[in-house]
Structure 1
Amino acid sequence: MKAVWARGLRGTLGVWMLGLTGLVLGLTAQAEPAVPEAPSASSPSGMRLESTPRIAVISAFAPELVLLHKAVREPRQYQVNGVTFTTGSLQGHPVLLFLSGISMVNATMNTQLALDRFNVSHILFSGIAGGVNPELRIGDVNVPERWGQHLEVLMARETAPGTYERPADKETMQVPGFGMLLHRAVRVVSEVRSRPEPQFWFPADPGLLALARGVQDVTLQPCDQDKVCLREQPRLVVGGTGLSGTAFVDNAQYRKHLAEVFQANVVDMESAACAMVAQANRVPFLAFRSVSDLAGGGPGANEMNTFLNIAAENSARVLMAFLERWR
Structure 2
Amino acid sequence: MRAMTVLAGALALSATLSAPARAAEKLDTVPRTLVMTAYEPEWNALVHAVQQPTAYQLNGMTYMTGVLEGKPVLLMQSGVSMVNAAMNTQLVIDRFAVKRIVFSGIAGGVDPGLSIGDVIVAENWGQYLEVSFARQTDGGWLPPEKVTTGAPGNWEFMYPRPVRVSNAAQGTQHMFTFAMDPQLLDLARKVAPTVKMERCVAAAATQRAGSELCLPHDPKVVVGGTGVSAGVFADNAKFREYLHAAWKARVLDMESAAVAQVAYANQVPTIVFRSLSDLAGGDREKNMEDTFEHLASVNSAHVVRAFLTALPD
TM-score (ref. length: structure 1): 0.83
Aligned length: 283
Which one of 91, 98, 101 corresponds to residue 120 of structure 1? Answer: 98
Deviation at 1:299, TM superposition (A): 1.7
Q: Is the 8 A contact 1:173 1:182 kept in 2?
A: no
State how 1:67-106 maps to structure 2 within 5 Å: 67-106=45-84
Structure 1 gap segments, 5+ residues each:
1-42
Identical counterparts, % of pairs: 48
Deviation at 1:44, TM superposition (A): 4.8
- Residue 155 of structure 2 corresponds to 178
SS in 1 for 2:200: coil
Structure 2 gap segments, 5+ residues each:
1-20, 204-211
State how 1:29-68 maps to structure 2 within 5 Å: 44=22, 47-68=25-46
- 1:263-302 Cα distance to aligned partner (Å, 9 max, x none): 1110001011111111111110000000110100122110
1:53, 1:303 → 2: CA distance? 38
1:203, 1:101 → 2: CA distance? 22
- Residue 238 of structure 1 corresponds to 223
Q: Is the 8 A contact 2:135 2:144 kept in 1?
A: no
- 1:110-139 Cα distance to aligned partner (Å, 9 max, x none): 011000000000001000000000000000
- 1:145-192 Cα distance to aligned partner (Å, 9 max, x none): 11111110111111139x211345365854321111111111112224
- Residue 206 of structure 1 corresponds to 182
Structure 1 or 2, whichever has the larger Rg, is 1
1:191, 1:312 → 2: CA distance? 35
State how 1:1-327 maps to structure 2 within 5 Å: 44=22, 47-160=25-138, 163-169=140-146, 171=148, 174-192=151-169, 194=171, 196-215=172-191, 216-226=193-203, 227-327=212-312
SS in 1 for 2:30: coil
TM-score (ref. length: structure 2): 0.87
- 1:76-123 Cα distance to aligned partner (Å, 9 max, x none): 000011111000000011000000001110000001100000000000
1:45, 1:305 → 2: CA distance? 41
SS in 2 for 1:179: coil
2:163, 2:22 → 1: CA distance? 31
SS in 2 for 1:188: strand
Q: Which of the pair is proportionally richer in strand?
A: 2
SS in 2 for 1:273: helix
Which ranges of 4 or more aligned residues in structure 1 deviate by more than 6 Å? none
- 1:18-61 Cα distance to aligned partner (Å, 9 max, x none): xxxxxxxxxxxxxxxxxxxxxxxxx9585210110000000110
